[in-house]
Amino acid sequence: MSGYGGFALRRAGQAVVVVLLTYVFTFWVISVLPGDPVTTTLRNPQNGFTEEEIARIVSYYGLDRPVLVQLWESLSRFVTGDLGVSLRSNRSVADMIGEVLPSTLVLAAASLTIAVVLSFAIAFGVHYLPRPFSTALRSVPSLFLSVPGFLVGLLLIQVFSFGLGLFRAIDTDGPVATFFAALTLGIWVSAQIAEVLIANLDHEAAQEYAGVARSRGLGRLRMLLKHLLKPSSLPVVTVLALMIGEVLGGAVITEAVFGRTGIGNLVERSVASQDLPVLQAVVTLAAVVFVVVNLLADLVYPLLDPRVTLQARPEVGANA
């Protein structure tokens, strides 16, 4: 356990460094963007800020001080959990994100669930169904990747909402609408998981132990479930961790297509109004989620596969 404990501490330290560097990089990019948030946002008559409110926000963010001082104060607040105040609404950024985050998390979790079910179903079909069907299934992941996600979403809305009336387009947060939104995102995500799983099933099926099991008369389905599935599924853990960033990015587009109120909608409004504190908080939050999930995958992988060393993380599809 001492070796694993040191491995876990190293990974956790690296994760913290990555999150902090992401915050610094995001702050730097926002700082060099053209335009002054004070003149473009705070002093916009349509926003209705008084001079007292403007002075308080300027003092809070240190907008009248050097950039390095602003960075230090902003980073200090971030470490303590303070995400700042919106330049658009003068509300806490944490409260604004908290209002829309549950909807995005539900969409992301449902999408990943659908993606895992689809990918395993495709992989099982490739290795269990007769050749004409298995050959056709091998091309399904490439088909899923080639079709844009927004097009799939529009098709599902046209068929199942306007055509069959299974859900109303205005009831975007209902369970049925959420399912089809998650299906839109899950179809694209499942393609990458299925490709890795199929490749590793092919590899494991060609190993000597698989040949010995077949020579003893073990059926194809039992062979798949008992001997091939576990070693072939381990790389899926890594792929799922890497796909978290893809899911968060895809959720922005999916929410726009289905009209859902989530992080994507918040980002869209923040970009339009140049609400930089909200944008920085959302980018950093996405980085935190991505890093934490990948950290968990790093920590779980050696426990699942004793062949994995604690020096470096295995590459995706290394067994392919």
Q: What is the pLDDT of residues 261-270, one digit of tens each?
A: 888 788 888 8
On whether both 73 and 205 belong to a single domain, the answer is: no
- pLDDT(123) > 70: yes
Round to whole Å and give the CA distance between 285 and 302. Answer: 27
Q: CB neighbours (10 Å) of residue 240? A: 21
Q: What is the pLDDT of residue 251?
A: 80
Residue in 318, 124, 116 with CA at minimum distance from that of residue 223: 124
Q: How confident is the model at residue 114 (pLDDT cuts 50, 70, 90)?
A: very high
- pLDDT(316) > 50: no
- Taking residues 131-157, what's their average pLDDT? 84
Q: How confident is the model at residue 310 (pLDDT cuts 50, 70, 90)?
A: low
- pLDDT(100) > 70: yes
On whether both 129 and 242 belong to a single domain, the answer is: yes
On whether both 101 and 243 belong to a single domain, the answer is: yes
Number of domain units in the chain: 2
On whether both 159 and 285 belong to a single domain, the answer is: yes
Which stretches within 50-174 are classed as H helix? 51-61, 67-79, 93-128, 131-138, 140-146, 149-156
- pLDDT(1) > 60: no
Round to whole Å and give the CA distance between 140 and 124. Answer: 13
Higher per-residue pLDDT: 48 or 192:
192
Average pLDDT of the residues of the chain: 78
| Most distant CA pair in the chain, distance | 84
On whether both 142 and 208 belong to a single domain, the answer is: yes
- Taking residues 186-198, what's their average pLDDT? 86
Is 232 exposed, middle or buried (CB count within 10 Å of its CB: 0-12, 13-18, 19+)? buried
Q: Is 85 helix (H, G, I), strand (E, B) or coil?
A: strand
Angle between helix 2-32 and helix 67-79 axes, rounded to 10 deg? 140
On whether both 147 and 66 belong to a single domain, the answer is: no
On whether both 20 and 146 belong to a single domain, the answer is: no
On whether both 194 and 298 belong to a single domain, the answer is: yes
The verdict on residue 13 lying in a domain is yes
On whether both 134 and 65 belong to a single domain, the answer is: no
On whether both 53 and 111 belong to a single domain, the answer is: no
Q: Is 157 helix (H, G, I), strand (E, B) or coil?
A: helix
Quote the domain boundaries for residue 177: 94-304
On whether both 142 and 252 belong to a single domain, the answer is: yes
Tokens standing for residue 292: 């934490």
Q: Which of 79, 107, 141 is the C-terminal boundary of a domain?
A: 79
Q: Which of 40-54, 57-71, 244-258 has the lowest mean pLDDT?
A: 40-54
On whether both 116 and 199 belong to a single domain, the answer is: yes
The verdict on residue 309 lying in a domain is no
* pLDDT over 90 percentage in the chain: 1
Tracing tokens 């490709």 back to the chain, one arrives at: 195
Higher per-residue pLDDT: 142 or 127:
142
> Does the predicted TM-score (pTM) go above 0.75?
no
247 close to 187: Cβ distance less than 8 angstroms: no
